[in-house]
A and B are shown apart, each in its own frame.
Chain A
Amino acid sequence: MSGLLFQAFVYLCAAVIAVPIAKRFGLGSVLGYLIAGIVLGPLIGLVGAETQSIQQFAEFGVVMMLFLVGLELEPRQLWAMRQRLLGVGGAQVAGTAAVVMAAAMLAGIGWTVALALGLVASASSTAIVLQTLGEKGLLKSDGGRASFAVLLFQDISVIPMLALLPLLALPALRGQAGGDAAHAAPSLVAGLPGWETGAITILAVAAVVVGGHYLTRPLFRFIASAELREVFTAAALLLVVGIALLMTLVGLSPALGTFLAGVVLANSEYRHELESDVEPFKGLLLGLFFITVGAGMNFGLLLAHLPLILGLTLALIVAKALVLAIVGRLFRLRGPDLWLFALGLAQAGEFAFVLLSFTVQNAVIPAAMAPMLLLVVALSMLLTPLLFILFDRVVLPRLTRGRTRPADTIDAPAPVIIAGIGRFGQIINRMLRSNGYETVVLDLSAEMVDSMATFGIKAFFGDATRPDLLDAAGLRTARMLVLAIDDPERVLAIARHVRQMRPDLHIVARAHDRHHVYELFQAGCNDIIREVFDSSVRAGRSALEALGHHPYEAEKIAQTFVKGDRQTLRKLAGVWNPAIPSSSNPAYIAAAREARREEEAMMAGARSATRDGVNRAWMPPGARDSAED
């Protein structure tokens, strides 16, 4: 007991310390867990041989992850992005696998092992890349979207890989590995003739699909009616564990089975509940898995073969980046987007760990090879932040000076410059142009610019944060600049830069939220429009009308609300301090509380400036005095 508690304490402690630190340095949680494992195992030797058994337990996190991947696969969404998914994703996985396989075969490795290595190397790190792209606000760029499609395809392609990899098993290794597997699980199909095995397997899969479709709903409804949250969690776990067990019994991959169950349940109304119930278990188990991988790293091996391992890592990164660059090029990614795509996805991913341990267990890859491969995978992930720094500091500045695909030449500078032609900028552009104003429109997404062109709207491809591009658009002589970009940081950067060049220019800026409003105000923007504020007010007005308020009264309430909100905004802007977060700025908190009190007083029906705004108008003489009583 105390031994178990001690282990739990050590692992949790390592995770709690290492993961936040890794995240702070932009390394992502996967690397955090790995580093925690490296510290625990090779560095201070706190954990040892038991990692082997823990790892087998922690691998269940992978099963859960695939269940969640299945749950999140909405068939409609997948269909919408099928071209990018299959095209870019498929080409990347196939290309990388082929290149790595060829290299391995040249090095004298047998084709089955080489193919397995290729497949292991083809996946990139979803966790690291998505998080980094999200932090940099690049998910919506062309490069970001292509990256997302590739990562999604990789996640999905793990399923067939898990199903097919055992077929590559080496006869010579099978005996050894079989000994391990024999005690792991009893089998329903052992010793049965081939056709019976097939029939039972098909039956099991059918049971998952049909049961998932028809049985889970009444079952979950019955369980939910008990209104005990932990019982529902238990049911969710039971489902995953049960399916995994069933699959093991018939000799199929448990990950495959739970993935299938996830897809079947993706349209169920209990989907979100299942997701939130399984998610923490998956996160912890996966974390544990990565810790054990880190703990199992053989540092002696690393030091002994440092040049070889470093060389292999670099070779892997270069090979992956090259394949990505070719695929990206084929699918018309250009300039920074292409570089982002190629450099960002060039590492091996967390699935490589999974596939490695899976292939070793299934006697596909000789166990002796695994430690070195684990080191290569981990190193390539550790180097990812460096690749992003390379992209930010070296590639991007160079591209913006002499880019391979230059920004469009702006042949028609206009008095009104609109930066960003998404949903926000489109409306502004249409309103201005239909009233006879010439506009010049810039957008960072080549896809957006092209699609606008098909609707007859001329936009120029280019980054509005670039001074020379703004100059070409006519910044020196423009009357107005509209910042309609969906990226608060960029909007602020442009506003500050432009304000220095043109103190007299009228700037209309799209703000993300209150704090962005304050920043834009300090940057000297003239009109600052919160992007969803007006539509929210309109929705509130519709709600009031539907609740029986006269439309004109609802209109007055909305007007008064907007006025009050604007006053509050102004008050809060006065006490806002960019150096202190608002939640620890006493003056800001006091002002915000005061505003909230005012609103609540209005709800309680007491007299207040806000309530007056609605009632003061057209209150009949005499009625007002009685209302004040």
Chain B
Amino acid sequence: MKTLVLYAHPAQQHSRVNRTLAETAQQVAGVEVVDLYAEYPRFTIDIDREQQRLRDHDAIVFQFPLMWYSTPPILKEWQDLVLEHGFAYGHGGTALSGKLWLCALTAGAPLTAYGPEGRHRMPLRSLLAPLETTANLCRMPFLPPYVLYGALDATETRCMPHAEGYRHLLEALRDDRLDLAAARTLDHLTVETLPTVIKRG
């Protein structure tokens, strides 16, 4: 499967985890990585070009840090502009139909913070509802997000395995070795649960 990673981080000079992840993705042969903030530092998103990119790929990975329970601003801008009526949804809007939608995100707080007793009270998957709904409208199967919880104080020992898992995940997508049925049963993917959804190549 042709795989596209749309990477969005507005302050890469402060980033550790996401930068490592993006670098990892770049090393996977056959995966195209687009740094949205580098390509559009003034938010002048080229709609035709982005739509063509989507047409050219079968799996779209959105890689970003969770900010205020949502995506960084450029990803929202990207959705608003690129997912046009008649292209992504609505009458004649079938260009994205059947393409996979995967979020690869880092969350500052640990998993427990997103539990019913936790600080944020809401499970991460529910916070991603706008994205999931968007994927549904575009008839794109929404995969459970690949998450690094507690990214704010992630040490090297947690960051590196997560990046390694990201590599395996992207390779599995590329080589069509992702068990979609098994994935659908999970709320989110982590390094620990990855082996259960990746078929041996």
Residues on A facing B (Cβ under 8 Å): 550-555, 617-623
Contact = CB atoms under 8 A, between A and B. Distances in A.
Contacts of B10: 552, 617-618
B38 A552 contact: yes
Given A618-B11, A619-B11, A620-B14, A554 B152 contact: no
Contacts of B37: 550-552
B41 A555 contact: yes
Interface string B32-75: 00000111011000000000000000000000000100000000
Nearest to B67: A618
Contacts of A622: 152-153
B14 A550 contact: no
B14 to A, nearest CB: 6
B108 A621 contact: yes
B12 interface: yes
Contact of B11 (A551, A554, A617, A621): A617
A327 to B, nearest CB: 52
A618 B152 contact: no
Nearest to A541: B41
B19 to A, nearest CB: 10
B108 A619 contact: no
B148 to A, nearest CB: 14
B185 interface: no
Contacts of A555: 41-42
A620 B13 CA distance: 11
B20 to A, nearest CB: 15
Interface hub of A553, A619, A623 (most chain B Cβ within 10 A): A553
Contacts, number: 36
A550 B12 CA distance: 7
Given A552-B11, A552-B41, A623-B14, 19 more contacts: A550-B37, A550-B38, A551-B37, A552-B10, A552-B37, A552-B38, A553-B12, A554-B41, A555-B42, A617-B10, A618-B10, A618-B11, A618-B14, A618-B67, A619-B11, A620-B14, A620-B108, A621-B152, A622-B153
Most central of A550, A552, A554, A617 by chain B CB within 10 Å: A552
Contacts of B12: 550, 552-553
Contacts of A553: 11-13
A623 B10 CA distance: 16
B63 to A, nearest CB: 15
B14 A619 contact: yes
Interface string B5-23: 0000011111000000000
Contacts of B14: 618-620, 623
Contacts of A620: 14, 108, 152
Contacts of A619: 11, 14
A339 B98 CA distance: 77
24 contacts: A550-B12, A550-B13, A550-B37, A551-B38, A551-B39, A551-B41, A552-B11, A552-B12, A552-B41, A553-B11, A553-B13, A554-B41, A555-B42, A617-B10, A618-B14, A618-B67, A619-B11, A620-B108, A620-B152, A621-B108, A621-B152, A622-B152, A622-B153, A623-B14
A547 to B, nearest CB: 13
Contacts of B108: 620-621
Contacts of B152: 620-622
Nearest 10 Cβ contacts at the A-B interface: A618-B11, A552-B37, A551-B41, A555-B41, A552-B41, A551-B38, A550-B12, A618-B10, A553-B13, A620-B14
A555 B12 CA distance: 13
Contacts of A554: 41
A407 to B, nearest CB: 41
A550 B10 CA distance: 10
B100 to A, nearest CB: 28
Contacts of B67: 618
A561 B11 CA distance: 17
Contacts of A618: 10-11, 14, 67
A552 B13 CA distance: 10
B13 to A, nearest CB: 6
Contacts of B42: 555
Nearest to A549: B13
Interface in B70-96: none
A209 to B, nearest CB: 54
A450 B11 CA distance: 51
B42 to A, nearest CB: 6
A618 B108 CA distance: 13
Nearest to B13: A553
A552 B39 CA distance: 9
A421 to B, nearest CB: 28
Interface string B150-176: 001100000000000000000000000
Nearest to B153: A622
A599 B108 CA distance: 34
Nearest to A622: B152
A613 to B, nearest CB: 13
A492 to B, nearest CB: 33
Nearest to A619: B14
Nearest to A555: B41
Nearest to A553: B13
Contacts of A617: 10-11
A553 B38 CA distance: 9
A615 to B, nearest CB: 8
Nearest to B12: A550
A618 B37 CA distance: 13
Interface string B179-200: 0000000000000000000000
Contacts of A551: 37-39, 41
A16 B35 CA distance: 64
A312 B10 CA distance: 79
A552 B14 CA distance: 13
A619 to B, nearest CB: 6
Nearest to B38: A551
Nearest to B11: A618
A519 to B, nearest CB: 32
A617 B12 CA distance: 11
Nearest to A550: B12
A555 B43 CA distance: 11
A556 to B, nearest CB: 8
Nearest to B39: A551
